[in-house]
Chain A
Amino acid sequence: MPPERLEQRVAIAPDGAVTAFSGKVEFGQGIRTGFAQIVADELDVLLDRVTVVMGDTDVSPHDWGTYGSHSTQQEAPIFRRAAAFGRSQLLARAARRLGVGVDRLDTSEGHVISGTTRVPYGELVGDEPLTGVIPEQVAFLPEGRRRYVGRAMPRVEARDIVTGRATYAADVHLPGMAHGAIVRPPVRGAKVKGVEAKAARSMPGVVTIVHDGDIVGVVAERADQARAAADAVDVDWLAGRPDEGPDADIPLREDSGIDQVLANAAMRHSAEYVLPSIANAPIGPSAAVADVTADGATIYGATHRPFGLREGVAKRLGLAEERVHFAPRMSSGTYGRSSSIDVALEAAVLSKHAKRPVHLQWTREEEFSYSPSRPEVTLVVSGGLDAAGTIVAWKYDEHTANVHTAGWFDPDPERAGGSQGRNAIPPYRIPHLNVVLHMEPTPLRTANFRSLAAAENVFAIESFIDELAHAAGTDPVAYRLRHLDDRRLRATIEAVAERSGWGRAPMRGRGLGLACTIYHGTLCAQVADVEVSADGVVRVVAVWAVVDPGFVINPEGVRNQVEGGIQQSASWTIYEELRHRDGRIAKTSWDTYPIATFRDAPERIDVLVAGDASQPSTGVGEPGAVPTAAAIANAVFAACGARVRELPLRPERVRAAIRSLP
């Protein structure tokens, strides 16, 4: 990788306006605000002077994608150094201009100051932009001079969001723009044999019928006209076999002699955990506007992979990559779903044939039926304990499927362990450990979904450690601590136990459950307080969380992310399951795929942000969602004695578990 350069990261206009550039994208996780805080502080300007341009392939530095809660970890140190380097250049320019030593100068709110003389940054920049390789070592402003970093800040987009001015992909309107609609296959994997579009072609408003490879669609003057005509297109489909993806067993950890240790253990316990496929289900269905001409293409949209989108669209249209411009707009949260560039490709192909800008937004039914979704996962665990109840062996098999949309599955154990096998290795001290990732073909389109496989693995691991604690007759918090060396995770667990009043006598039908994780450097422990009715209805009354993401840039942003992760994960855990048959999704609306609503929101979600300021900043977009399912399932066990190992925790499933209790 070439070294990062200042001019790729921070620019100051003659009027003093500061623009910072990142290849990451904002989905509501608050990184735009965090980056602005960092740049404003180290450059010593007011926050409202800073604009952060994100994921625009014409001006943003190249980036591999907004994944894995890596944005802050990756970008914060670069922005900090870039801004500090910029400030040092401004000081040097002012010193030359004023004929004084740099040591006699200081900065304040976008000015270099020397006694009573104040020179605006913009004047020092003029038409000579700040440039140069950003050095590894650069002088930072003293901590006491920070105005923004470490303080709770509202997100910079807030005003535009509440007034409706925020522009999402579907809000883009270009002169001469037409609307598209896609004709969908009856099942995944079907191929086009023939297209009969005579009736559709003469329908009102129709501009053109498109059949280009696997894409069949209609472009019309208005969206409803395009939809109606698309429904009238008769496609002869050739059913294909939808199953795909690698079939491979990848050992992530293989300690020798584990079978012997398990066989000789004083106590053995095994369990199988099952999580269904679930839908990312963004509130805003996928959308893109494409403007394709003979010279090139501009795509307005939203994706986790701006540069991957540019590459994919260029390839599909047969254009050189530099002829394609991806101009991101605000995005509905998609939690990984828009790692796929499907809607952009479709809009681009429609626009190419219509020779006009084309607006395409999927319907809600399409979003459920044809979007990629989280694959089903089965986790099989065996543990062996010694006579004192200490874990001596742990055997773990993760059965999952490839994530097609990202398209970068790599069977190398190191890399597979970081993607589909993420967090399959428990954080506990286990002398004999065996972890195998089994990749299995799937009939579904699969998507990254908030933490990839970590939420699934942690559901199994944190349920199982709870089962072992009970098997050993030990309190689950004490049992975890007994097997943990990580100082920060121990502190996080102890803090959440204290805040939640762990150990207090529960009310009838109520129970507390704990779970924890280390996710890409961020530590998070949660306690759920759950009520289980006699007929199996699970209600999350409260959740306490403690999170340590290292040095904290925006504590309110961290709290919001962790609260949201908990709320979303509680919804997966209690309500969500995508049903499919022969490669066809059987649930296509909010009626048949309900998610948690205002009525279901816990009475309280209490998040303590306890970042270790001596540690680098790590991400919070995903970690909050990771331990929640196990915390809830463990609380269900505490409440009613039933151990439910399959999600979602639907009343009939919980009821059956209660009734089968001895």
Chain B
Amino acid sequence: MPIELRINGTTHAVEVTGTATLLSVLRDDLGLTGTRYGCGIGRCGACFVLAEAGAGAPGSGATAVASCLLTAAQAARMEITTVEGLASPNALHPVQDAFIAEDAMQCGYCTSGMVISAAALLGRTPHPTEDQIREALATNLCRCGVYGRAIRAVQRAAG
């Protein structure tokens, strides 16, 4: 079926099946491969995107959702921001800058999802406590073990 998706401020017309996930459409149809497959059941955070209902400024009031659990058809009613759309034309998102400054990554496979979760957290809680950061990112698994650095990065981004 034909649907329209709002991704990173742009409208994309795509033809999808009823069961196609937002993740597969992002990656295989729209070439937005920064959103990554990790588990397919929303347990690892690698495929997180920001989603908010209806139109609005991407990033504010948005929540981090697993794009592997959302069908593309469901996402058609939302404003979606992927990791590629997080930065403004002239500057990285503060979370992205902070992750670089803290070297809060190793292999980087989980980083997109972590950055998305952190952006969602700071959107609703500009100055989170460490416990709030740990809770907000608890679904973002990292095997390389950069949790401590990522916590410091979110704190740095919060200023």
A-to-B contact residues, CB < 8 Å: 27-30, 154-155, 157-159, 161-168, 170-171, 173, 179, 222-224, 281-285, 330-333, 335, 361, 363-364, 556-557, 560-561, 563-568, 571, 589-591, 595-599, 601-602, 604-605
CB distance from A224 to the nearest CB of B (A): 6
Task: Kindly report which residue of chain B lies nearest to residue A364, judged by CB atoms.
Answer: B39
Cβ–Cβ contact B34 & A165, under 8 A = yes
Interface membership of B134, Cβ < 8 A: yes
B40 within 8 A of A: yes
Pick from B28, B103, B106: contact of A333, CB under 8 Å: B106
User: Which residue of B40, B138, B141 has the most chain A CB atoms within 10 A of its CB atom?
Assistant: B141
Cβ–Cβ contact B106 & A602, under 8 A: no
- Please state if A162 and B148 are interface contacts (CB–CB under 8 Å): no
Question: Which among A164, A361, A564 is the interface contact of B145 at CB below 8 angstroms?
Answer: A564
Question: In the bound complex, do residue B84 and residue A563 qualify as a contact, i.e. CB atoms below 8 Å apart?
Answer: no
Task: Decide: A567 near B148, CB < 8 A? Known: A284-B38, A364-B38, A589-B41.
Answer: yes
CB-CB contacts below 8 Å: B114-159 with A: 115, 133-135, 137-151
Contact B112 A164 (CB under 8 A): yes
List the B side residues contacting A282 at CB < 8 Å: 109, 143
Q: Which residues of A contact B28 (CB under 8 A)?
A: 173, 179, 222-223
Chain B residues, CB < 8 A from A30: 106
On whether the beta carbons of B143 and A568 are closer than 8 Å, the reply is yes
Q: Is the CB of A283 within 8 A of B147?
A: no
Considering the complex, give the chain A residue whose CB is closest to the CB of B93. Answer: A162
Q: Bound state CA distance, A75 and B106, in angstroms?
A: 20
Min C-beta distance of B7 to chain A, whole Å = 12
Tell me if B148 and A605 are in contact (CB < 8 A). yes
CB distance from A567 to the nearest CB of B (A): 3
Q: Which residue of B lies closest to A601 (CB)?
A: B147
CB distance from A387 to the nearest CB of B (A): 44
Contact of B33 with A167 in the complex, beta carbons under 8 Å: yes
- B31 close to A (CB within 8 Å): yes
Known contacts: A162-B115, A563-B146. The answer to whether A224 contacts B24 by CB under 8 A is: yes
Cβ–Cβ contact A28 & B106, under 8 A: yes
Q: A163 vs B82: C-alpha distance in the bound complex, in angstroms?
A: 9
Q: Can you name 25 A-B pairs with beta carbons within 8 Å?
A: A28-B108, A157-B108, A158-B105, A159-B100, A161-B105, A162-B105, A162-B115, A163-B34, A163-B87, A164-B34, A165-B84, A224-B17, A284-B36, A563-B145, A563-B148, A567-B147, A568-B145, A590-B39, A591-B43, A595-B141, A595-B143, A596-B145, A598-B133, A598-B135, A598-B147
B146, A162: Cβ atoms closer than 8 Å: no
Are A601 and B82 interface neighbours, CB within 8 A?
no
SS class of chain B's interface: helix, strand, loop or mixed? loop
Instruction: Write the chain A residue with the least CB distance to B105.
Output: A161
Query: Is B1's beta carbon under 8 Å from chain A?
Result: no
13 further interface pairs, Cβ-Cβ under 8 Å (given A330-B108, A363-B40): A161-B111, A173-B33, A283-B46, A283-B107, A284-B37, A285-B37, A361-B37, A564-B144, A568-B145, A590-B141, A598-B137, A602-B148, A605-B148
Whether A364 pairs with B40 at a CB distance below 8 angstroms is yes
How far does the alpha carbon of A599 sit from the alpha carbon of B148 in the complex, in Å?
A: 10
Contacts of B84 in A (CB 8 A): 163-165
Which B residues lie at the A interface, using CB under 8 A?
A: 17, 19-20, 24, 27-28, 31-41, 43-44, 46, 82-84, 86-87, 92, 96, 99-101, 103, 105-112, 115, 133-135, 137-151
What CA separation (Å) do A599 and B136 show in the bound complex?
A: 10
| A residues near B40, Cβ cutoff 8 Å | 363-364
Q: Which of B31, B100, B147 contacts A158 (CB 8 A)?
A: B100
- What residues of chain A lie closer than 8 Å to B103, measured between beta carbons? 154-155, 158, 556-557, 560
Contact between chains at B148 and A604 (CB < 8 Å): yes
Residue of B nearest to A179 (CB): B28
C-alpha gap A356/B108 in the complex (Å): 30
Q: How far is the CB of B61 from chain A (nearest CB, A)?
A: 22
Give, as a whole number of angstroms, the nearest-CB distance from A227 to chain B.
10
Please indicate the chain A residues that have their CB under 8 angstroms from the CB of B82 in the complex. Answer: 164
* Contact A563/B133 with A154-B103, A363-B40 known, Cβ cut-off 8 Å: no
A654, B153: Cα distance in complex, Å: 34
Q: Can you name the residue of chain A whose Cβ is closest to the Cβ of B35?
A: A164
Contacts of A283 in B (CB 8 A): 38, 44, 46, 107, 109-110, 141-143
What's the Cα separation between A557 and B103 when bound, in Å?
8
CA distance A179 to B28 in the complex (A): 10
B145 touches A565 (CB 8 A): yes
Q: Are B43 and A599 in contact (CB under 8 A)?
A: no
By the criterion CB–CB under 8 Å, are B36 and A162 in contact?
Answer: no
User: A213 to B81, alpha carbons, bound, how many Å?
Assistant: 44
For residue B73, give the distance in angstroms from its CB to the closest CB of chain A: 14
By beta carbon, the residue of chain B nearest A368 is B39
Distance in angstroms between the alpha carbons of A171 and B40 in the assembled complex: 16
| B93 to A: closest C-beta gap in Å | 8
Complex: A605 Cα to B143 Cα, angstroms:
16
Whether B96 pairs with A162 at a CB distance below 8 angstroms is: yes
A402 to B132, CA, bound (A): 44
Q: Are A28 and B148 in contact (CB under 8 A)?
A: no
Collect the chain B residues with CB atoms within 8 Å of residue A602's CB. 148
Which among A159, A170, A568, A599 is the interface contact of B37 at CB below 8 angstroms?
A: A170
Are B143 and A164 in contact, CB atoms less than 8 angstroms apart? no
- Pick from B38, B41, B96, B101: contact of A154, CB below 8 A: B101
Complex partner residue of A222 from B24, B101, B111, CB under 8 angstroms: B24
Chain B residues in 8 Å Cβ range of A173 = 28, 31, 33
Residue contact A333 to B146, C-beta cutoff 8 Å: no
**Cα(A361)–Cα(B33), bound, Å:** 14
Q: Which partner residue on chain A sits nearest B68 by CB separation?
A: A364
Which are the 10 A-B pairs with shortest beta-carbon distances?
A: A164-B34, A567-B145, A28-B107, A28-B106, A161-B108, A164-B83, A601-B147, A564-B145, A171-B33, A333-B107
Residues from chain A with Cβ under 8 Å of B33 in the complex: 164, 167-168, 170-171, 173
Q: Distance in Å from the Cβ of B38 to the closest Cβ of chain A?
A: 5
Cα-based distance from A563 to B108 in the complex (angstroms): 16
Whether A164 touches B106, Cβ cut-off 8 Å, given contacts A560-B149, A589-B41, A601-B151, is no
Shortest CB distance B34–A (Å):
2
Contacting pair B148 A27 (CB below 8 A) = no
CB distance from B134 to the nearest CB of A (A): 4
Most buried by A among B32, B37, B82: B37
Give the residue name and chain of the B residue nearest to A279 (CB). B143
> How far is A474 from B78 in the complex, measured between Cα atoms in Å?
65
Q: Which of A162, A173, A566, A604 has the most CB of B within 10 A?
A: A162
Residue of A nearest to B36 (CB): A284
Q: How far is the CB of A163 from chain B (nearest CB, A)?
A: 6
Measured CB to CB, the closest approach of chain B to A30, in angstroms, equals 7
A364 CB to nearest chain B CB (Å): 4
Q: Cα distance A601–B40 when bound, in Å?
A: 24
Residues of B within 8 A of A179 (CB): 28
